[in-house]
Structure 1
Amino acid sequence: MMITLQELQVYRNFDELANDVLDLAKEILPDKLIYLTAFSDGQQIILKLSDENTQILLSEGMVINLEETVCNRVDFERNQPLIFEDIKKEPCLDDLKEILEDVNIESYLGIPISLVSGERFGTLCAAHHEASHFDKKSVDLLQRIARMFSYYLELERLAYRDALTGLYNRQYLFRFFDALSKEGGVLFFLDLDGFKKVNDKYGHDAGDEVLKEVASKLQLFVEGENGAFAARLGGDEFIINFPGIFTKADLIKRAEKLLNSLNNWAAKYPLSASIGIVAYPANGYLALETLLKNADSAMYKAKGAGKNTYAIF
């Protein structure tokens, strides 16, 4: 599951480590601009630059269409660096030469950064405004730095992600909810109906597969919802957070759509879900513990109404 930029911003010491990565790389290639990028939703984001005042026209926070970047051609499958020592002499870059000229890049080195899962994270790059040589020793050292950075990303991901489902975990929710809820929003608290029977009849391996399928459904459900995320509280309890202000009709529409998706299972298990819904105001005074208690109360009201339904607190 891809690490989001929002998630990166809450990782402990991310800025410090990113700066250390650039400093180490700069020691290896002192005459080059070193920069760190991330891929997200078809875009490349320039996360960090080793130098602000260079002849290369990149800046931190710059967002570029991934298809229009040379980094998109880095070989992540074989974990191989991409090297162009003279952009002008590379016919394979004809479609990108105008873009590269606009940012004044004449030579380029791109090192892939992948998560432990194999998913693409982004690149560690070196660039120069003139044609230049990248020696093998320098490239090898940069690959080692990129690999160490990927290990750091995995450690942070494990701290804030549920090991079974890959969703955010309780620790993430409690540590960062205040920062993520300033605009107000809505919590959906859902609990599976019939999950204990699946565990008892089919075994805990089957139960784990159900939880992973729930996570996939919830992740699909929040895609395209700006700032929304799903988390697993524990057991068969999950949370979806939707930032923003919604009408009652909006909430009903979302709840019914979610219930429908949780009624269809690959293995045809007799499962459904009960959902408790609670809204919270912008810059509100309600603590997360209170919101969860209220959402839990609404969820049990839904179970009392026959399950496979929702209740708004």
Structure 2
Amino acid sequence: MPVISVNEMQIYKNFDEIARDILAMAKEFLPDRLIYITSITKNKQIIVKLSESNPSIHINEGMVINLNDTVCNKIDFANNAPLIFEDMSKETELDDLRQALIGANINSYLGVPITLSNGETFGTLCAVHTHAAMMTQKSTLMLQRIAKMFSYYLDLERLAYRDSLTGLYNRQFLYKYFEENVASGGALFFLDLDGFKSINDNYGHESGDLVLKEVAVKLEDFVQQQDGFAVRLGGDEFVINLINNRIGQEELSKHAENLLSRLSSWEIPLEGFYLSVSIGIALYAPGGSSRLKAVLKSADNALYFAKAKGKNTYQFAPS
């Protein structure tokens, strides 16, 4: 299931205000600690919000850290269990992180998982101190409850911007993101499955849904290696938005070939049917002059010509 990205958080209503309120509540129970919220991706941790600026602790909002280099990576997310180190200098299991801890000037830590209702990990709510410090059971329990409250808010926001079947972003997210971030420029890939109707007609909609979920997994794996995101527009139509105004046509062609390869073999058995994808690609320039409807139209027209060429291929829209 796709994780909540920084791009997604940026369009949530009142995210900053609610995050600040969550930190303020936690600060009531742990007034001497620096409290912060993180989000976690496949291999990165992002410091989302701090309770306050603390010059003694070298953690900043927006900081991106390799997940393997963080204490939070040692949390038991599967069991939603808090992680407590009251004196990190005495913990031999932290020897691999010793230099990082010294650099951040942290010697006590409480990390609580922030987990969504579908089991997906959002990140952590953490409390740290420069010195060894006791952590009471009551404070730990309260931090867990506060993290749970924050997860309820994230669940509600996520419902508004995610496709219920695949978990990918939906059309509403695409329009909202494009409206607020088009100035960055990029490339939009419009994907349509070739032969999907035959799958539904011959295997049933349940098998069709399994195919769509498999597409989503493959697209999400692709975008995690790029700067971008994947969207299900509806039916068997998908969009990938790559956020890079300097990306050239040669590199975009390699991305398209990659997607064609990913979507040419399937885990679900499709005996007697060949399922592939056709792709239309439209670039949009930085500066905010482009509008999503126009870019989608260009990509859709390019997709039409890709299908006309025999499907299982890609086509660029005219510059």
**TM-score, normalised on structure 2?**
0.89
Deviation string 1:117-153 (CA, Å, 9 cap, x unpaired) is 3233221111222322221112111101111111222
Residue in 1 that maps onto 2:225 = 224
Distance 1:274 1:129, change over 3 A: closer
Deviation string 1:14-54 (CA, Å, 9 cap, x unpaired) is 11111011100011111222111222342322222212135
Does residue 76 of structure 1 match 2:77?
Answer: yes
Deviation string 1:68-101 (CA, Å, 9 cap, x unpaired) is 3222222212211112222233333334344323
SS in 2 for 1:182: helix
Distance 1:46 1:29, change over 3 A: same
- Structure 1 unaligned residues grouped into runs of 5+: none
Residue in 2 that maps onto 1:126 = 127
Percent pairwise identity: 56
The answer on whether the counterparts of 2:20 and 2:49 sit within 8 Å (CA) in structure 1 is yes
Distance 1:33 1:245, change over 3 A: closer
The answer on whether the counterparts of 2:11 and 2:176 sit within 8 Å (CA) in structure 1 is no
Does residue 35 of structure 1 match 2:36?
Answer: yes
Does residue 15 of structure 1 match 2:16?
Answer: yes
Residue in 1 that maps onto 2:52 = 51
Residue in 1 that maps onto 2:311 = 307
Structure 1: how far apart are the matches of 2:313 and 2:107?
60
Distance 1:310 1:90, change over 3 A: closer
AA matched with 1:241: N
Report how many aligned residue pairs link the two structures. 312
Shift, 1:6, TM fit: 2.1
Structure 2: how far apart are the matches of 1:202 and 1:67?
43
Distance 1:25 1:249, change over 3 A: closer
CA-atom RMSD, angstroms?
2.1
Structure 2: how far apart are the matches of 1:99 and 1:272?
47
The answer on whether the counterparts of 1:33 and 1:54 sit within 8 Å (CA) in structure 2 is no
- From 287, 294, 301, the equivalent of 1:297 is 301
Deviation string 1:257-306 (CA, Å, 9 cap, x unpaired) is 32233222222342222222222222253321112122222222222333
Range moving further from structure 2, 128-137 or 202-211: 128-137
Residue in 1 that maps onto 2:275 = 271
SS in 1 for 2:72: helix
Deviation string 1:159-200 (CA, Å, 9 cap, x unpaired) is 111111111110011111133332322222121121111111
Range moving further from structure 2, 106-115 or 297-306: 297-306
AA matched with 1:231: V
The answer on whether the counterparts of 2:182 and 2:290 sit within 8 Å (CA) in structure 1 is no
**TM-score, normalised on structure 1?**
0.91
Distance 1:159 1:30, change over 3 A: same
Residue in 2 that maps onto 1:287 = 291
Distance 1:85 1:259, change over 3 A: closer
The answer on whether the counterparts of 1:113 and 1:124 sit within 8 Å (CA) in structure 2 is yes
Does residue 177 of structure 1 match 2:178?
Answer: yes
Structure 2: how far apart are the matches of 1:94 and 1:306?
58
Distance 1:26 1:199, change over 3 A: same
- Structure 2 unaligned residues grouped into runs of 5+: none
Range moving further from structure 2, 99-108 or 4-13: 99-108
